Amino acid sequence: MLREIIRDALLEAHHVLQDALSKGLTKIEGRGGFGDYSRQFDILTEKAIIKSIKNRLNRAYIVSEEVGEVPCEDPEFYVLIDPVDGSTNASRGLPFYASSIAVAKSPKMDDVIAAGVINHQTGKIYLGDEESGVTVNSSPPSMSKQISLKDALVFADLSNLKKEEEDGFNPRDWCTAIITKARHARFFAAASLEIAYILEGKADAFVCASRDLKVMDFCASAVLVKWAGGEYRVLGGKGDILLTENTRLGIIVASTNSLLEEILSLKR
């Protein structure tokens, strides 16, 4: 049931977003609940997702990038939404942006039980749940089994290069070491979609070495990769990672544990 609810909400988001972009609705309308600028299409897409979710889940505590938290008195589910990941790309006509949804049985990321991401350029949907596993447009995922950076394609968040000191280490040096050792490195500024590409074997790892991401930027796709046999490590959190987390975090996601451990080993 949850898979279908997520899929339908993502499809509705796709239709609303494409319509908004075709009408040039890209104006900034202020800041959202998590501090980033909200554009017209962000708000319209978020409203469409929330409406779709609420029509199907009566007792849902919703956390979303623009509106913030929509409380529920006795929640059965917690729903984390990123209406448009890659809003700057979308506003400039760069074809790399996505929407994502994660549904959990508690406010903790560890308790996510279903998740989905949609690539708005291709319409491709990455979907999964704890019981049934993960699909990419209804087909099984095809993750690579790369165990070494020297053979890997890595998405590396280049905002890490702006930071020389954080939590007792140098994110710039760590990111540089990873990029230098990787066979290929890329950055498209839409973390949820970059991570989802690991499910198709188009990439082998995603790295955000400093605390620059919101939890909704990576939650859904990181969980999907883990369910498909990969691994992730959240950076900068203290204890359980909450869906309501209002601090910035880093994350490493990899198709294999060996690749994850190699990336972590380069941290100084």
* Per-domain residue ranges of the chain: 2-136, 149-265
Q: List, in order, residues 6 or more apart from 71 with CB less than 8 Å away.
A: 61
- Give residue 197's pLDDT: 98
Q: What is the mean pLDDT of residues 64-88?
A: 94
- pLDDT band for position 58 (50/70/90)? confident
Q: Is the pLDDT of residue 1 over 90?
A: no
- DSSP track, 114-177: EEEEEETTT--EEEEETTTEEEETTB---------GGG-EEEE-GGGGG-S-BTTB-HHHHHHH
**Average per-residue pLDDT in the chain?**
95
What percent of the chain clears pLDDT 90, i.e. is strictly above it? Answer: 87
Better-predicted residue by pLDDT, 169 or 190: 190
Q: How is domain 149-265 classified at the CATH fold level?
A: D-Maltodextrin-Binding Protein; domain 2 (3.40.190)
C-alpha span between 180 and 168 (Å, rounded)? 22
Q: What is the mean pLDDT of residues 175-189?
A: 95
- Give residue 130's pLDDT: 87
- pLDDT band for position 180 (50/70/90)? very high
Q: What is the pLDDT of residues 34-56, one digit of tens each?
A: 878 899 999 999 999 999 999 99
Is the domain 2-136 a CATH 3.30.750.24 member?
A: no
- pLDDT band for position 174 (50/70/90)? very high
- pLDDT band for position 84 (50/70/90)? very high
Kindly report the length of the chain: 268
- Give residue 168's pLDDT: 86
- Give residue 246's pLDDT: 87
Q: What is the pLDDT of residues 207-237, one digit of tens each?
A: 999 999 999 999 999 999 999 999 999 998 7
Residue 231: alpha-carbon gap to chain centroid? 14
Which is nearest to 95 in space by CA: 208, 188, 194, 14?
Answer: 188
C-alpha span between 127 and 230 (Å, rounded)? 15
- Give residue 31's pLDDT: 87
Q: What is the pLDDT of residues 103-115, one digit of tens each?
A: 999 999 999 999 9
